[in-house]
């Protein structure tokens, strides 16, 4: 089964639909958002409403290369790390103040 986030029911089914706008431009509809894909020969670039960006190249035969950037997720994780660090600093200050009060 998939991971479940608060208030979200994850089903083991996927939803994906692609609509062709022009020969080289597609709109992709997924369970979590919408994305736009542009293709030029073996190269493609996808930009999603979730902040995810994907670059890919199809090489001859069974070979391909994909690079994914999750800018939105990175910003969220950075904020979580900042908040965790601030909480540790606050706890350390409270412990120091408690030690001073005992003396």
pLDDT by residue, tens only, the chain of 103 residues:
445 556 566 667 778 899 999 999 999 998 878 999 999 999 999 998 878 899 999 999 999 999 988 765 666 777 888 899 999 999 999 999 998 888 6
Q: Domain coordinates of the chain in residue numbers?
A: 16-102
Tell me how far apart the alpha carbons of residues 95 and 99 are, in angstroms, rounded to a whole number.
6
* Contact call for residues 25 and 37 (beta carbons, < 8 A): yes
Which residues, in sequence order, are bridge partners of residue 67?
Answer: 55
Q: Is the full-model pTM beyond 0.85?
A: no
């Amino acid at each position: 089964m998939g991971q479940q986030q608060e208030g979200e029911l994850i089903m083991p089914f996927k939803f994906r639909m692609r609509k062709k706008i022009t020969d080289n431009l597609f709109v992709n509809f997924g369970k979590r958002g919408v994305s736009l894909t542009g293709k030029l020969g073996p190269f493609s670039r996808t930009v999603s409403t979730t902040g995810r960006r994907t670059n890919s190249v199809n090489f001859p035969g069974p070979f391909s290369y994909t690079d994914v950037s999750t800018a939105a997720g990175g910003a969220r994780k950075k904020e979580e790390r900042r908040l965790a660090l601030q909480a540790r600093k606050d706890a350390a200050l409270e412990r120091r103040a408690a030690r001073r009060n005992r003396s």
